[in-house]
Amino acid sequence: MLSDARLVAAKDLRIELRSKVALNQVAPFAAAVLLLFGFALGPDRATLEPAAAGLFWVAVLLSALLAVQRSFAIEGAGGGHDALRLSGLDPAGIFLGKASAVAVQLLVLELLLTAGIAIFYGAQLAGFLVLAGAAVLATVGLAAVGTIYGMASSGLRARETLLPLLFLPVVAPVLLAATKAWDAALTGPAGAGAGWLAVLGVFAAVYLAAGIVAFDPLLEDA
């Protein structure tokens, strides 16, 4: 399973490195979202700084949608779902591989957005352990949920509009917990975010387990 996951993740990341869609489209989109929030709330840093954590995670969530859609668009281009099925790869490995590739892209994006909230919103970066822990756990949860629903919706005609409808309500707990954890880290005390890390960890574990179990029938029905 893990060797299959490595193979799929390496393939997806290689495709992203060659196509540069994440770099040329998703990252500018996320930066634009941060800027637009700034326009909407006004230039006053006293307003923006307390909202930085929430705005950061909303931007990540919206970018995650694009990353997941892209992850399954590359599979559909040349009859790819059939290629994945014909490959004989373990469906659980395919799930972990695709989720890992999405997670890596999101983590890189989050690094850029972190610089963005420091520059645009004046956020004081502190509590790095909580920031990093929350980012990793939330990203794993987002990638797992996104990969499950990306696969579920990928064979449908209305997949572009259906995926956000399925994905966003389910990841509301991630938005809440990650925002609270980051808020605690940015405004202190960072230790107050520890409980939210546990929530993010449980969420990620549940959806990783669900994906490992459910991906086989999802792949067959796509």
Partner 1 sequence: MAPAIRFRDAVVLAGRFPLLAGIDFTVAEGEVVLLRGPNGAGKTSLLRAAAGLVPIASGEAVVLGFDLQVDRREVRQHVGLLGHTSYLYDELTVADNLRFAVRAARGPEAAIGPALHRLGLDERLSKVAVARLSAGQRRRVAIAALLARGPRLWLLDEPHAGLDEETRDVLDEIVGEAKASGSTVVLASHELDRAARIADRVVAVAGGRIVEPAPTTAEVGAPGPDGPGVETAAGAGMAVSRAV
**Which residues are near partner 1 by CB under 8 A?**
4, 7, 11, 14-15, 18-19, 74, 77-80, 82-83, 85-89, 91, 220
Q: Which C-beta is closer to partner 1: that of 2 or that of 111?
A: 2
Whichever of 4 and 183 has its CB closer to partner 1, that residue is 4
By beta-carbon proximity to partner 1, the closer residue of 114 and 147 is 147
Q: What is the Cβ-side half-sphere exposure of residue 22, based on CA atoms within 13 angstroms?
A: 27
Of 203, 197, 144, the residue nearest 172 (C-alpha): 203
Identify which of 62, 63, 198 has the alpha carbon closest to the alpha carbon of residue 130: 198
CB of 74 to partner 1, least distance (A): 7
The pair of structure tokens assigned to 98 is 């695709």
Instruction: Please give the Cα distance from 176 to 197 (Å, whole number).
Output: 11
CB of 110 to partner 1, least distance (A): 24
Nearer to partner 1, 72 or 196 (CB): 72
Measure the CA–CA gap between 190 and 203, rounded to whole angstroms. Answer: 21
CB of 10 to partner 1, least distance (A): 9
Specify the residue, 11 or 45, whose C-beta has the smaller distance to partner 1.
Answer: 11
Closest approach of Cβ 89 to partner 1, in Å?
Answer: 5
Closer of 75 and 183 to partner 1 (Cβ): 75
> At closest approach, how far in Å is the CB of 90 from partner 1?
8
Nearest to partner 1 of 2, 14 (CB atom): 14
Closest distance of CB 178 from partner 1, Å:
31
Q: First and final CA of the chain: distance in angstroms?
A: 21
Least distance between partner 1 and beta carbon 8 (Å): 9
Here the contacts of 5-9 (C-beta below 8 Å, separation 24 or greater) are 5/92, 5/93, 5/94, 5/95, 5/96, 5/97, 5/100, 6/97, 7/89, 7/93, 7/97, 8/89, 8/93, 8/94, 8/96, 8/97, 8/98, 8/101, 9/96, 9/97, 9/98, 9/100, 9/101, 9/104
